[in-house]
Structure 1
Amino acid sequence: MQSGTRTSSSSVQPNEADILSDEELKTGVREVLYKNMISGRKAGFDYHYTKPSPGTYPFQYFWDTCFHVFILSAFGEEKMAKEHVRSLFQMQRPDGFVGHMSYWKRLWPARVTDLLQLRPRDVLRLYKPHMSALVQPPIVAQAVLRVYRYSHDGAFLREMLPKLKKYYRWLAENRDFEGEGLLSIITPFESGMDWKASYDPLLKFTKGKAGPLLFWKVLQVDAHNFLKGYDLRRIYKSNKFVVKDAAFNTIYAQNLEVMAELCQLAGDEDGPGFLSMARQTEKSILRYMYDEEDAAFYDLYGHHFKKLKVRTGTIFFPVVLKSVSDEVCRKVLERHLLDKDGFHVPYPVPSLATDEPAFNPNSSLYIWRGPTWVVFNWFMQGYLLEKGYKQEARELLLSVKRLVSGSGFREYYNPFTGEGHGAEDFTWSGLVVDMIKRQQDEGDT
């Protein structure tokens, strides 16, 4: 059990006076992080990573590793943060691809869905370290920039920049099928928000609350991709599941801009090219994803960019982009985040609007369909601070502090009661320390 925190999902949420101090929270996060950390050497590869949760999520995951870098950097553990990034890129393919899961010590996938997320030829080499055939939200450039800002290690930047350039170019060349600057995901598992309700219409799942039928529909998508050998052109042509996720593409645009900054810091001439790519992505997000009537940014599907009009917690993500006007940002935030249209809960930000048919705030195999995840608060807090919404940013941080103080470091929380659900000793909730540091850096404690 973490120092000063409770892990029971039935905990009563604390009064304001019972919220853990910043130092107590930091101590708890540090204990969870180090308890979940693993390193070693396998088949000539050196790996060093943190399991998001020891039993539930035992592998090295792409965007989880980036979250761990943010947390470690907030602690001043830049050396360990660097090792996490290096491990993430140990098996990078020559073409630049990096999979969303790296299998190191435990080589056999935990679930049948994981097995289907390998290329068929990789199934035959499970005895060796290998990667999945999928991608995850490409937030790694921001992670590297965070390490550099705290460490000022130019050698590390120059070491990682060629790898990052190859990785982001692979994404542009292989997942921007239409040349509009928007990346497509080919399975719900690539968004990082596995059972996200906005995908239901595409999956022809109309029952609202998730159940075994939804599981089989998603499994069919992965089986389809597996049988096509993860040939991306064939998968795109079949058009079974081709989605441009609003959060995924927002993160992509942010990180293309960061790539331009990293190039400039390293004296690399490719910076303007990445900045141009970022602007194209931002332009397409605004053109295709924004719905003026609903004041929301929706995911898109298919070859013709049809909107998936389900109000998930990512409908306001693109407001963080510089190309999105202040007027649009204000409309989206006021409608959904500040006035909380469909998002009015004691513990924000819920992963799905409360009045959507699929909304389920409780523990479930089918996640991201109602409960609150710390990562949403973490993502939006940075933007709110930047734009001067200090009170709103403070409230998001306070909500996370209350959740962790009352229920421990859990995978997700009931947005009404604050009860913790899902994996225990879950590292994502440790992002609270980065939120604390950001608030302090803004002089707003």
Structure 2
Amino acid sequence: MQAGMSMLSKQQETSTQEVLSDQEISTRAREVLYKNMVSGRKDGFSYHYTKPSPGTYPFQYFWDTCFHVFVLTALGDVRMAKKHMYSLFRMQRADGFVGHMSYWKRLWPARITDLLQLRPRDVLRLNRPHMSALVQPPIAAQAVLRIYRLSKDLTFVSEFLPKLKKYYRWLAENRDFEQEGLLSIISPYESGMDWKASFDPVLNYDKGEAGPALFWKVLQVDGHNFRKKYVLAEIYKSNRFIVKDTAFNTIYAQNLEALAHLCDLVEDEDGKQFRDQAEKTSKSILRYMYDEQDEAFYDLHGHHFEKLRIRTATVFFPVVLKSVPDKVCRNVLERHLLHQDGFHVPFPLPSLSTDEPAFKPDESLYIWRGPTWVVFNWFMQGYLLEKGYKQEAEALLRSVKRLIGQSGFREYYNPFTGEGYGAKDFTWSGLVVDMIDRQRRLRWNDL
């Protein structure tokens, strides 16, 4: 494996792009993050969040907010990280639900898709703060645990833990339809990767490259859910779009572990329950999502867990789970990350294998179908460092630095040229600061 990963390292060295210093990157990331911050008070609710970009994404988004916590804590601003999490859970429903979008300062949805992602009863509340009816990858427990690890603030953990427990219990009770430990999403937007190519077969879209027809098919899914008034039992029964996303469930398993750890910190007896849930989810990921012949983890569709055999970058995600055998992890990485089979590009990781029909590396309205996003490198770097692949983790970090040095903090990048696309001053790319901090801590530990 080391030899294969070295190929990745050498490939990165072919770029002549000057890399910014760590301090320069941190300074610029801080400027982008603070420039995009919004705060205020509306109808008795106080809010404080960071827009992912100045104009394209004006609302508070669930997993974006958690990413901002990782960036803020890497920058040393724990106080601001706490304010973001409080704001994210400010409108949590009594049953534990938290929507993937919180509408604060700007109340009217930006797109028709946003309007259809509200419960019909909430359409009448557009003049007041409200949430969407969808969820996003549940990375909140890890965000709170990160805040604790930097602050050692057990009071904060004790205050936030009841919110988290209610939230993760809502997910288990309402989205684990088959009681196998795997959560289902009911809209492509819930994955956080809106136009992910693995969803095409579920949408009956077979044209490869995305176009207006794909937009209407996704719109029809949200329209279907809206007509069902977001009654989940009815949505599941109709089986229009019931997908178990690999990344979503990997993050779910990780966060159940993080939640169990938070319980342990304050001697909450529910820690064992969440740890058992995490183990159940991890085992089901291996059992249902892993394809031994293809050596990849695939998204699943429908009531019978049909594999969606399209190689997006999330085929790697479950390797981070401790219950996945080392041999499986090595096979997945060696076959898909290290060899010339679709993910070996000058600026990894592409969001879709280059040999998939839907692959498009250029700018498009239909994102997540080829370009490189910093979040993939951030996610995989943590695993590589944990497993001792220091050189390979360094290669992923160096690639991100070159992307930012060349194109700035952009939403996504061309995996061949490094050209930046999509939203400008995009906060997710600030995750590079956390990558730098991880690498720095590793060096200190080696001394």
TM range (shorter): over 0.9
**1:107 Cα shift?**
0.3
- 1:373 aligns with 373
TM-superposed deviation, 1:15: 5.8
Residue deviations 1:311-333 (CA, integer Å, cap 9, x gap): 00000100000110000000001
Q: Distance in 2 between matches of 1:99 and 1:29?
A: 27
Per-residue deviation, 1:338:
2.2
C-alpha separation between the residues in 1 aligned to 2:58 and 2:397? 28
Say whether 1:344 aligns with 2:344. yes
Matched letter for residue 326 of structure 2: D
Match of 2:210 in 1: 210
Q: Deviation per CA, 1:146-198, whole angstroms, max 9, x where unpaired?
A: 00000011111011000000000000000000000000000000000000000
1:26-425 residue pairs with structure 2 within 5 A? 26-425=26-425
- The equivalent residue for 2:7 is none
Task: Please report the TM-score for the alignment, with normalisation by the length of structure 2.
Answer: 0.96
**Separation in 2 of the partners of 1:268 and 1:345?**
46
Contact map agreement 2:17 2:402 (CA 8 A) in 1: no
How many angstroms does 1:443 deviate by?
Answer: 0.9
1:348 and 1:47 map into 2 onto residues whose CA distance is: 36
Q: Which runs of 5+ in 1 are unaligned?
A: 1-12
Residues of 2 paired with 1:16 and 1:158: CA distance? 49
Rounded Cα–Cα distance in structure 2 between residues aligned with 1:15 and 1:309: 32
| Aligned-residue offset at 1:18 | 2.0
Residues 189-245 of structure 1: CA deviation (Å, up to 9, x unaligned): 000000000000111100000000000000000000000000000000000000000
For residues 403 and 275 of structure 1, do their structure 2 counterparts lie closer, same or farther at Cα, with a shift above 3 Å needed?
A: same
- Structure 2 counterpart of 1:186, one-letter code: I
How many pairs are equivalent?
433
C-alpha separation in 1, matches of 2:361 and 2:33:
27
Q: How does 1:15-26 map to 2 (within 5 A)?
A: 16=16, 18-26=18-26
SS class of match (1:161): helix
Shift of 1:42: 0.5
Q: Is the 8 A contact 2:17 2:406 kept in 1?
A: no
TM-score, with structure 1 as normaliser: 0.96
Aligned-pair identity (%) = 76
Kept after mapping to 2: 8 A contact 1:43/1:128: yes
Task: Give the alignment's Cα RMSD to 1 decimal.
Answer: 1.2
2: CA distance between counterparts of 1:434 and 1:190? Answer: 25
The Cα shift of 1:17 comes to 7.0
| One-letter identity of the residue aligned with 2:227 | L
C-alpha deviation, 1:267, in angstroms = 1.1
Counterparts of 1:158 and 1:14, CA distance in 2:
49
CA contact (8 A) 1:14 1:405 kept: no
The whole-number CA distance in structure 2 between the counterparts of 1:41 and 1:371 is: 38
Q: CA deviation at 1:339?
A: 2.2
8 Å Cα contact 2:17-2:405 kept in structure 1: no
Note the C-alpha offset of 1:16: 4.9
The separation in 2 between residues aligned to 1:323 and 1:15, in whole angstroms, is: 37
Does the 8 A contact of 2:181 with 2:281 survive in 1? yes
Q: Verify the 8 A CA contact 2:341 2:355 in the aligned structure 1.
A: no
| Partners of 1:263 and 1:398 in 2: CA distance | 36
Kept in 2: contact 1:43–1:129 (CA 8 A) = yes
Q: CA deviation at 1:340?
A: 4.8
Per-residue CA deviation, residues 331-387 of structure 1 (Å, 9 max, x unaligned), is 001011122521011000000000000000000000000000000000000000000
| CA-CA distance at 1:54 after TM superposition | 1.2
Amino acid of the residue matched to residue 357 of structure 1?
P
CA distance in 1, matches of 2:251, 2:73: 20
How far the C-alpha of 1:14 sits from its partner, in A, is 11
Q: 1:340 to 1:440 in 2, by over 3 A?
A: farther
Give, in whole Å, the separation in 2 of the partners of 1:122 and 1:438: 42
Q: Which amino acid aligns with 1:405?
A: G
Deviation for aligned residue 1:405 = 0.5
Encode CA deviations 1:48-74: one digit per residue, 9 max, x unaligned: 000000100000000000000000000
C-alpha distance in structure 1 between counterparts of 2:340 and 2:64, whole Å = 28
Report the 3-state secondary structure (helix = DSSP H, G, I; strand = E; otherwise coil) of the residue aligned with 1:442.
helix
1:278 Cα deviation after fit: 0.2
**2-structure distance, mates of 1:134, 1:54:** 23
